[in-house]
Amino acid sequence: MELDRLDRDIIAALVEDARATYAEIGHDVGLSASAVKRRVDRLRETGAITGFSARVAPRALGWNTEAYVELFCQGKTKPSDIALAMARYPEVVAAATITGEADALLHIRATDVRHVERVIERIAAETFVVRTKSSIVLSRLVDLPTGAVASDPRNGSPVGG
């Protein structure tokens, strides 16, 4: 699906504030509220916008510690095996298979270092896991919502930048 300037501007507005009214967005991008709504509906139908979410301060909910864990798996492990197993851990907030020595990289949120340790212990006990290599996050320096940059004229668009 093709996104024009207006679509990108609307997405940018909604990434910045998902509760903005259609009239507000319309004012920003130069469209009527009705026109904005029609485009937002279309963007959701086509899957460009997958939903709307509150941004939460992990600390406020007690998630005080995060870690990245490299996973080294047995030779015939399939990505779907890893996906299925990791989906069972609420502490695993992101996971991806990657190039390089490790097979996958996990992003873990936990209450404290002890909690991280317990989770890694359980993950390391998964049948397909050979070993793990973990790094505790000391301080978060950057954390942008996905798409924050997409059509912010201050930053480059993926095509233009």
Partner DNA sequence: ATTGAAACTTGCACTAC
Partner DNA sequence: GTAGTGCAAGTTTCAAT
Angstrom distance (rounded) from CA 17 to CA 157 = 19
Amino acid at position 10, single letter: I
Site track for DNA across 39-68, x = CB under 7 A: x-----------------------------
Candidates 30, 79, 114, 153: give the one binding a second copy (CB under 8 A). 79
Angstrom distance (rounded) from CA 70 to CA 130 = 11
Establish if 41 lies at the interface with a second copy (CB under 8 A).
no
Establish if 108 lies at the interface with DNA (CB under 7 A).
no
Establish if 18 lies at the interface with DNA (CB under 7 A).
no
Angstrom distance (rounded) from CA 76 to CA 63 = 34
In DSSP terms, which residues pair with 69 in a beta bridge?
106, 134
Identify which range of 28-36, 98-106, 121-129 contacts a second copy by CB under 8 A.
Answer: 98-106
- The residue among 28, 12, 3, 5 whose CA lies nearest residue 147 is 12
Candidates 29, 36, 120, 150: give the one binding a second copy (CB under 8 A). 150
Establish if 76 lies at the interface with a second copy (CB under 8 A).
no
Establish if 32 lies at the interface with DNA (CB under 7 A).
yes
- The Cα angle at residue 150 between residues 98 and 51, in degrees rounded to 5: 80
Binding site for DNA (CB under 7 A): 6, 21-24, 26, 30-35, 37-39
